Amino acid sequence: MSRSTYKLLAPAKINLLLQIVGDQFDDNGRSNGYHELVMIMQSISLADQIHLRSLGVDRIQLHCDHPQVPLDSSNLAHRAAALMMQKFPGLSGVEITIHKQIPIGAGLAGGSADAAAVLVGLDLMWNLGLTQTELQSLGGQLGSDVPFCLEGGTALALGRGDQLDFLPGLENIYVVLGKYRSLSVSTPWAYQTYRQQFQASYAKTPAEQDARRHASGSGSLLKAIAQRDIAQIGQRLTNDLERVVLPAHPQVAVLRQTLQAQNLLGVMMSGSGPTVFGLAESAATADQAKARVRAAIADPDLELWVAQFCSHGIRLL
Ligand code: C5P
């Protein structure tokens, strides 16, 4: 039975690994503007809440309690509803209310998580019975991170980030996150700047790309994940985009160093940044690290959170 209102939880993600293999090519061998990646993605308990309400009229209404979130079709959650209405015409309109906890422009896939929640919610509201594969395919049309956000947990992600291999969940790992409220990084800017600076070193042929994937740090990190060896996981965190984001934003580099000076198991930037995170084995260690970073950087613009790894993506509340 479908209902006229749904509440969904949309967790953020961090990247335990993000390595750039080279340009992605279409079937005609032309670059399509994306990068071939090797990533390991992890959902965390920092999450938005999405409320959906069926509207009699064929319209999308978007509300959000965060003043900087756009409420028009530039919002990925709005685009998700528009895509669903285009694919399944004649169904109801929808009012979407986003209760924002995940910071925006942060490298934590907040917008992608909200879009994933709209796909899941409308599938239920309209009683469509879409399969996970169908939802993933719709998600891929919205953004590279949306397919991961649907299912969540821990996954190896290849291609542009949408070829997913889900791994057994990691639990009881805590994460301290820091981000300057007023600082956001545009994902296209991060990838374009990386391309300008490092394209000469990109793998050029499919064979070279394959070799690069095999030589990536994913093998040893996957082994550490399989063994649930948190110390090794912490040591093997990698993010190629740090090479362009940290030099452009020295305050993020300082925040990273400050986190690194704490008793944490590994520190890294997530996605295209500028959020940096550190891993901890206990909530107490994570809380202590957060308090020490707060004491070391007395800037009210700095926001800090403690969250936990979680083994799910979009969930009904
Ligand atoms: O897929 P999404 O819309 O999130 O990507 C935003 C931008 O990030 C793309 O337009 C592209 O510039 C860059 N990107 C990339 N390679 C990827 C994913 C994103 O170059 N695998």
Q: What is the CA radius of gyration of the chain?
A: 19
Active site residue 145: yes
The confidence score (pLDDT) of residue 242 equals 98
Active site residue 13: yes
Tokens 């979407």 locate to 96
Share above pLDDT 70 across residues of the chain, in percent, rounded to a whole number? 100
Q: Which of 49, 283, 155, 99 is nearest to 291 (CA)?
A: 283
Of residues 78 and 3, more confidence is placed in 78
Q: Which of 175, 176, 190 is nearest to 249 (CA)?
A: 190
The confidence score (pLDDT) of residue 169 equals 87
C-alpha distances (whole Å) from 124 to each of 60, 129, 134, 242, 247 are 17, 7, 14, 39, 45
**Reported CATH class of domain 5-168:** alpha beta
Q: Does the pLDDT value for residue 27 go beyond 90?
A: no
Instruction: Choose the catalytic residue: 23, 114, 123, 145.
Output: 145
Instruction: Select 174-308's CATH number: 3.40.50.1820, 3.30.70.890, 3.40.50.360, 3.90.1010.10.
Output: 3.30.70.890
Atom of ligand 1 nearest to the CA of 195: 20
Other residues' Cβ atoms within 10 Å of the Cβ of residue 267: 22
Q: Does the pLDDT value for residue 274 go beyond 90?
A: yes
The domain limits of the chain are 5-168, 174-308
Of residues 3 and 195, more confidence is placed in 195
Q: Does the pLDDT value for residue 34 go beyond 90?
A: yes
Angstrom distance (rounded) from CA 41 to CA 104: 18
In short, whether 218's Cβ falls inside 6 Å of ligand 1 is no
In short, whether 19's Cβ falls inside 6 Å of ligand 1 is no
Instruction: Choose the catalytic residue: 13, 123, 179, 240.
Output: 13
Contact 256, 288 (CB under 8 A): no
* Terminal CA-CA length for the chain: 16
Of residues 243 and 217, more confidence is placed in 243
The confidence score (pLDDT) of residue 195 equals 98
